[in-house]
């Protein structure tokens, strides 16, 4: 059975700098996969390639769900989100700060609204009601329903993080890409994030690809971990396997031999 996402030999350079080097990994359906590594390891570059912000010159990124198959490296960013249903959040919060929390979630569904509105030139009130109901559903799931009419930019930072995930889920993703969702959260908020992501996976069948520095998140919820250093994969495996891998320990300590690949199934 094919994986939901297969990344093969992905490479991305910026001038003389190799941001990603010959990277291959897979995300199975309904799985949570974490990409970790020191700052500058190439993690966000991988996300930018997957979601169309960068067009990688080398490598294949195939997404397959149901009877549909997409080569992401050949698609524009808006098509990756709309058609392939790969949706992301960002390391820095990118909400519409002056709009309400509810409006942020309705806007995430604008393609469906636009398609419904052009039918016979009529305003699709029924469709709009459906979008609002979906937005309110995700606000409720995130514990933000009471803040539905509050300006997004005025919400506490942790609530803004949750609102970003809710907005992504309103786009009905099959693959949810989260760029450091626990950044800036306290221990209690990180624990709540763990429960929320596991709930999304369990109840909605969404695969999750996550970049994260908070190991309390990575080690508790991930099925598989991919470790990058200087753009290359140095280890992969279960959270327990990766945590005990000497190459991973050296990379996080900044030792010069960090790029050594250890023998066995954990090597890339």
Task: Note the pLDDT tens digit of each residue in 189-226.
Answer: 899 999 999 999 999 999 999 999 888 899 999 999 99
Phi and psi at 19, nearest 5°, equal -75, -35
The pLDDT score that the predictor gives to residue 111 is 60
- Assign 111 to helix, strand or coil: helix
| CATH 3.30.300.30 fits domain 1-85+173-268 | no
Q: Does the pLDDT of residue 259 top 70, yes or no?
A: no
The pLDDT score that the predictor gives to residue 261 is 44
Strand order, beta sheet including 224-229: 86-88, 175-179, 207-211, 32-36, 224-229, 232-237
The pLDDT score that the predictor gives to residue 87 is 95
> Residues 57-81: what's their mean pLDDT?
95
Cβ count near 116 (within 10 Å): 17
The pLDDT score that the predictor gives to residue 199 is 95
pTM of the predicted model over 0.75: yes
Both tokens of 61, joined, read 């990124």
Which candidate, 78, 72, 143, 138, places its Cα nearest to that of 110?
78
Residues above pLDDT 70, as percent of the chain: 87
Domain ranges of the chain: 1-85+173-268, 97-171
Contacts for 109 with CB less than 8 Å, ≥ 6 apart: 131, 134, 135, 170, 171
Report the DSSP beta bridge partners of residue 179: 211
Q: Does the pLDDT of residue 2 top 90, yes or no?
A: no
What confidence tier does 260 reach under pLDDT thresholds 50, 70, 90? Answer: very low
Q: Does the pLDDT of residue 68 top 80, yes or no?
A: yes
Q: Are the C-beta atoms of 88 and 51 separated by less than 8 Å?
A: yes
The pLDDT score that the predictor gives to residue 262 is 43
Q: Does the pLDDT of residue 118 top 80, yes or no?
A: no
Q: Between 80 and 90, whose confidence is greater?
A: 80
pLDDT averaged over every residue in the chain: 88
The pLDDT score that the predictor gives to residue 238 is 95
Q: Between 178 and 118, whose confidence is greater?
A: 178
What confidence tier does 251 reach under pLDDT thresholds 50, 70, 90? Answer: confident
The pLDDT score that the predictor gives to residue 129 is 83
């Amino acid at each position: 059975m094919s994986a939901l996402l297969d990344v093969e030999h992905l490479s991305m350079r910026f001038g003389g700098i190799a941001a990603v080097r010959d990277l291959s990994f897979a995300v199975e359906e309904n799985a949570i996969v974490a990409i970790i590594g020191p700052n500058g390891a190439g993690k966000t570059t991988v996300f930018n390639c997957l979601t169309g912000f960068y067009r990688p010159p080398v490598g294949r990124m195939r997404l397959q769900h149901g009877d549909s198959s997409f080569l992401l490296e050949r698609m524009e960013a808006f098509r990756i989100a709309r058609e392939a249903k790969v949706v992301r959040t960002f390391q820095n919060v990118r909400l519409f700060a002056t709009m309400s929390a509810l409006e942020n979630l309705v806007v995430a569904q604008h393609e469906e609204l636009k398609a419904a509105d052009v039918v016979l030139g009529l305003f699709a009130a029924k469709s709009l009601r459906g979008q609002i109901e979906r937005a309110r559903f995700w606000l409720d799931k995130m514990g933000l329903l009471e803040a539905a009419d509050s300006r997004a930019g005025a919400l506490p930072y942790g609530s803004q993080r949750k609102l970003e995930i809710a907005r992504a889920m309103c786009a009905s993703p099959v693959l949810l890409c989260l760029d450091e969702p626990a950044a800036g959260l306290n221990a209690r908020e990180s624990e709540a994030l763990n429960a929320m992501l596991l709930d999304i996976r369990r109840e909605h069948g969404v695969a999750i690809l996550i970049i994260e520095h908070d190991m309390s998140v990575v080690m508790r919820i991930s099925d598989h971990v991919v470790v990058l250093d200087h753009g290359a994969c140095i280890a992969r495996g279960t959270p327990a396997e990766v945590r005990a891998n000497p190459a991973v320990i050296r990379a996080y300590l900044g030792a010069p031999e960090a790029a050594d690949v250890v023998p066995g199934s954990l090597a890339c």
